Amino acid sequence: MICSGIHAVTGESIAVEFDRVIHSARPTQASLDAPYLAPGFVDLQINGFAGVDFNDPNASLEDIGRALDAILATGVTRCLPTVITGSPDAMCASLRNLARVRHGAIAGFHIEGPHIGPDDGPRGAHPARWVRPPDLDEFARMQDAADGRIRLATVSPHWPESPRYIAALVNAGVTVAIGHTGANKTQIAAAVDAGATLSTHLGNAAPSPLPKFPNLLLDQLAEDRLTAGFIADGLHLDDAFLRVAVRAKGPARTVLVTDAAAPAGMAPGSYRLGELDVDLTADDRVVLAGTSKLAGSALRMDRAIANLMRIAQVPLNGAISAVTTNPARLIRLQGLTNGLAPGDCADLVVFRTLPMRIEAVYLNGERVV
């Protein structure tokens, strides 16, 4: 198989030859109307899609597969279905159910909680009754339920147990993110020293109001060892904050996530997120039922790319890196860290811009869109 077009990161005209893996990406003469080529997009945080809640342990394998097929149409070829704070039994049941799904788009799992900040603000929409301190025995049970496939864990550094917990997970090959926290500067520094490398949806799930300084958002922005994840839906973040935060982090330490929930890709109405009732409003907000409190998003990754370019004035190559090689390297996703390089998995997206329009998606060399 050969795909020709403009490399979305380098700007070069290339022809990519592949089967399950990429064999070559050689220079070529592109036509004037050639599309862009990019590696498949990677989403580190997705709670559901197309009406399916990944936190529901009773979701059928067929429904989860259907949701993942719908995600492929947005250009995302690899994702981490995300399980949020719940009871120990519920979280393990959700992970056990997800681990039964055989779909090439699943690159592993993300546990967002339960070891997060318990206070209003930092906790976000997570149920307060199930927030609890880090426990390595509990993580071992969740990892066993997930068949060893938890690749990312979001933790609040404010717990006294957090540095030891983070170090143990990192030593076991799990990427650890700071998130849903009201931690102070010293606690954030201790988490990073222990091995945390990501800020989960920075700018969201934090105390409100925040002091001018010390300020946990500034502490994370100033920490060069932390990559930052952003929900670029035009709703979760103020435009000015997104522009400044992306500039502070720079192109190599910026990652886009959708934080999509079951309502994504669906009509306005009522849905579920774990044990929570959520509504999708007419203006595309996912909120706790009967409130205006955001609870995930209805964002598609192709739209997130367009939003990052428009709102934060990021060029196409930077926006593509934020959804491809940057997240792949962060979770050490083998075969996807080099970007259309020989030997990498043949995950490709063929698209045009203004606005972004996806024409074809390949997963392991097979056309799926």
Nearest to 243 by CA among 192, 312, 194: 312
Same domain, 27 and 173: no
**344-348 mean pLDDT:** 97
320 and 331 in a single domain? The answer is yes
CA distances from 206 to 40, 62, 66, 88, 216 (A): 31, 36, 34, 24, 8
Q: What is the pLDDT of residue 163?
A: 98
User: Does residue 31 have a pLDDT over 90?
Assistant: no
Chain-centre distance for alpha carbon 43? 4
Categorize the per-residue pLDDT at 355 as very low, low, confident or very high, splitting at 50, 70 and 90.
confident
Are residues 69 and 90 both part of a single domain? Answer: yes
Could you tell me if 24 and 17 are in contact, meaning their C-beta atoms sit under 8 angstroms apart?
yes
137 and 81, same structural domain?
yes
DSSP, residue by residue, 322-364: TTTHHHHHHTT-TTSSSSS-TTSB--EEEEETTTTEEEEEEET
Nearest to 205 by CA among 229, 238, 182: 182
Range of the domain at 232: 41-335
Report H helices in 236-333: 239-249, 301-311, 316-321, 325-330
pLDDT score recorded for residue 127: 96
pLDDT on residue 30: 78
Q: At 364, which CATH number?
A: 2.30.40.10
Are both 289 and 233 inside the same structural domain?
A: yes
> Residue 232 in 3-state DSSP?
coil
Query: Does the pLDDT of residue 32 top 90, yes or no?
Result: no
Does residue 358 surpass a pLDDT of 80? yes
User: Is residue 137 domain-shared with residue 19, that is, in the same domain?
Assistant: no
Q: Which two tokens stand for residue 245?
A: 């935060």
User: Quick count: other Cβ atoms within 10 Å of Cβ 117?
Assistant: 25
Average pLDDT, rounded, for the chain = 97
Do 224 and 258 share a structural domain? Answer: yes
Q: CATH number for the domain including 57?
A: 3.20.20.140
Q: Output the CA torsion sign for 95, 86, 327, 78.
A: positive
- Same domain membership, residue 369 and residue 269: no
Both 361 and 226 in one domain: the answer is no
Distance, in Å, from the CA atom of 224 to the CA atom of 238, rounded to the nearest integer, reads 22
Please report which helix (H) or strand (E) contains residue 94, including its range: helix 88-99
Mean pLDDT, residues 116-121: 97
Check if the beta carbon of residue 185 is closer than 8 Å to that of residue 219.
yes
Q: Indicate if the pLDDT at residue 354 is higher than 80.
A: no
| 140-150 average pLDDT score | 98
> Based on the domain organization, do 311 and 367 belong to the same domain?
no
Catalytic residue list:
259
Strand partners, 272: 277
Q: Does 223 share its domain with 363?
A: no
How many domains does the chain contain in total? 2
Domain identity same for 101 and 241: yes
